[in-house]
């Protein structure tokens, strides 16, 4: 700040000389800066010389420091804002984590219930809700508004100093060691030198640039983080009612499924367990039973034909002819040959009369065993056996044997709901 140099005994602590008076200029701390050309009367002969001599006055630096100070203050305000916003961000992250847990639990309830801590978290969300996003977001908006106001005050304060000469003069005065001792002349001189020197003019212009930089400074990055988290959490469960609705949406179809399990669905489960469809297995089983029954009917008819033939004259004549041929053969003396020949002859006679009625193709009783013992037909018999056991099986036993994954999911959903609502349905029989 400019001050005129006077003898120590002439200085008054409460007053300072006016513009143009004195033999030199001083800085803010009262240090002598330079001596310039002066007239015999003590006055400067050239105002431009006076301005030039005061080019190095510290007022420009004061303005620069003020701009820097306000930028640092904005940084401190932003740091404080970030510190206040961090718990809000953590709260949103906790809500998002809770929503992800609920989603995972509903997608794979069996996995969640295997971890007691996860099950406990879900129970808490189901009974107490996951969290509130609007209240903390409004807190953030309020803090952000306060930061914006502070930011604008810092910027507009610099612009006021830049535009308003009185504000510039008051600011420079406020930077003195003892502002109250500065006279009006000293204050006017300080303003004049700041406005007139090249360094002062540059510093004044820089105030506007610094103000613009302060005003355009973006909000701390944590604001964007929280806004993203808020977007991610919106439209997803937040209250206990939301969680319960989603859980009910998973439970209701399972309840309906168990309630409607009947013989047909039981057969479907057994068939799927074999990698087939009920239609295919029923058709193949029907064919197997038809073929076996056809053979058995043929056997029965052959035996009936034989019984009736044994009473006929034709049959008796054939038997008598067989005996006569054996007796007429010289080999009849051989008892072993006689028995063998008689057995073969009787078999041929019996087959003749058994097949007297047209029975179509006949594979014999041995073919039944061949059919029953094929791997595919054995699987058919196993399917038939399990289907016949359905009436003595309850629904839980059926699912445990043929769809254990679904049963585990159903039981896990019941744990998530904190009820036993599935137990009566699972213990019911299959009609």
pLDDT of residue 320: 87
Q: How remote is the C-alpha of 4 from its chain's centroid?
A: 74
Strands (DSSP E) contained in 166-271 are none
- Of 17, 9, 10, 8, whose CA–CA distance to 43 is shortest? 17
DSSP 66-94: HHHHHHHHHHHHHHHHHHHHHHHHHHHHH
Residue 163 host element (H or E): helix 134-163
Strands (DSSP E) contained in 135-257 are none
Rounded distance between C-alpha atoms, residue 136 and residue 93, angstroms? 12
Question: Coil, strand, or helix at residue 409?
Answer: helix
Rounded distance between C-alpha atoms, residue 58 and residue 37, angstroms? 21
The answer to whether residues 36 and 50 touch, using CB atoms and an 8 Å cutoff, is: yes
pTM, two decimal places: 0.68
Rounded distance between C-alpha atoms, residue 5 and residue 3, angstroms? 6
Rounded distance between C-alpha atoms, residue 367 and residue 295, angstroms? 8
Rounded distance between C-alpha atoms, residue 92 and residue 167, angstroms? 45
pLDDT of residue 31: 36
Angle between the 240-259 and 59-107 helix axes, to the nearest 10 degrees? 20
DSSP 8-state symbol, 365 = T
Rounded distance between C-alpha atoms, residue 264 and residue 277, angstroms? 12
pLDDT of residue 314: 84
pLDDT of residue 318: 83
Burial of 420 (0-12, 13-18, 19+ CB in 10 A): exposed
Q: What is the pLDDT along the chain (431 residues), one digit of tens a residue?
A: 544 443 333 333 333 333 333 333 333 433 333 333 333 334 545 778 878 888 878 999 999 999 999 999 999 999 999 999 999 999 999 999 999 999 999 999 999 999 999 999 999 999 999 999 999 999 999 999 999 999 999 999 999 999 999 999 999 999 988 998 888 988 898 898 899 899 999 999 999 999 999 999 999 999 999 999 999 999 999 999 999 999 999 999 999 999 999 999 999 999 999 899 999 999 988 888 888 787 777 777 667 777 777 788 888 888 888 888 888 888 888 889 999 989 988 888 887 777 665 554 455 566 677 777 788 888 888 999 999 999 999 999 999 999 999 999 999 999 999 999 999 999 999 98
pLDDT of residue 7: 38
Rounded distance between C-alpha atoms, residue 226 and residue 90, angstroms? 9
Residue 34 host element (H or E): strand 32-34
């Amino acid at each position: 700040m400019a001050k005129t140099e006077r003898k120590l005994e002439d200085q008054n602590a409460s007053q300072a000389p006016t513009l143009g008076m004195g033999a030199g200029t001083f800085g803010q701390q009262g240090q002598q800066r330079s001596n310039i050309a002066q007239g015999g009367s003590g006055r400067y002969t050239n105002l431009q010389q006076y301005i030039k001599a005061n080019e190095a006055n510290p007022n420009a630096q004061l303005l620069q420091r003020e701009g820097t100070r306000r930028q640092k203050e904005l940084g401190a305000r932003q740091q404080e804002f970030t510190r206040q916003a961090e718990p809000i961000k953590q709260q949103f992250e906790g809500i998002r984590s809770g929503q992800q847990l609920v989603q995972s639990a509903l997608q794979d309830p069996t996995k969640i219930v295997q971890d007691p801590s996860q099950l406990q978290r879900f129970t808490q969300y189901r009974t107490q809700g996951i969290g509130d996003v609007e209240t903390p977001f409004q807190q953030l908006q309020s803090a952000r508004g306060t930061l914006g106001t502070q930011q604008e005050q810092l910027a507009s304060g610099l612009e006021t100093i830049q535009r308003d000469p009185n504000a510039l003069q008051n600011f420079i005065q406020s930077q003195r060691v003892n502002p109250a001792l500065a006279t009006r002349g000293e204050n006017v001189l300080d303003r004049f030198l700041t406005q007139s020197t090249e360094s002062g003019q540059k510093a004044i212009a820089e105030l506007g640039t610094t103000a613009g930089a302060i005003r355009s400074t973006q909000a701390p990055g944590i604001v964007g983080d929280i806004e993203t988290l808020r977007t991610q959490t919106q439209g997803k469960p937040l209250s206990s009612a939301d969680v319960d609705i989603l859980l009910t949406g998973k439970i209701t179809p399972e309840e309906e499924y168990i309630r409607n399990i009947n013989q047909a669905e039981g057969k479907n489960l057994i068939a799927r367990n074999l990698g087939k469809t009920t239609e295919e297995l029923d058709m193949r089983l029907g064919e197997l039973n038809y073929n076996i029954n056809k053979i058995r009917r043929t056997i029965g008819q052959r035996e009936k034909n034989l019984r009736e033939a044994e009473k006929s004259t034709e049959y008796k004549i054939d038997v008598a002819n067989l005996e006569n041929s054996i007796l007429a053969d010289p080999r009849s003396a051989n008892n072993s040959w006689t028995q063998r020949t008689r057995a073969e002859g009787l078999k041929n006679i019996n087959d003749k009369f058994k097949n007297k009625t047209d029975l179509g193709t006949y594979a014999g009783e041995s073919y039944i065993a061949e059919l029953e013992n094929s791997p595919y037909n054995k699987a058919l018999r196993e399917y038939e056996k399990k289907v016949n056991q359905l009436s003595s099986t309850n629904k839980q036993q059926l699912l445990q044997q043929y769809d254990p994954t679904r049963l585990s999911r159903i039981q896990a959903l019941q744990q998530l709901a904190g009820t036993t609502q599935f137990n009566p349905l699972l213990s019911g029989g299959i009609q």
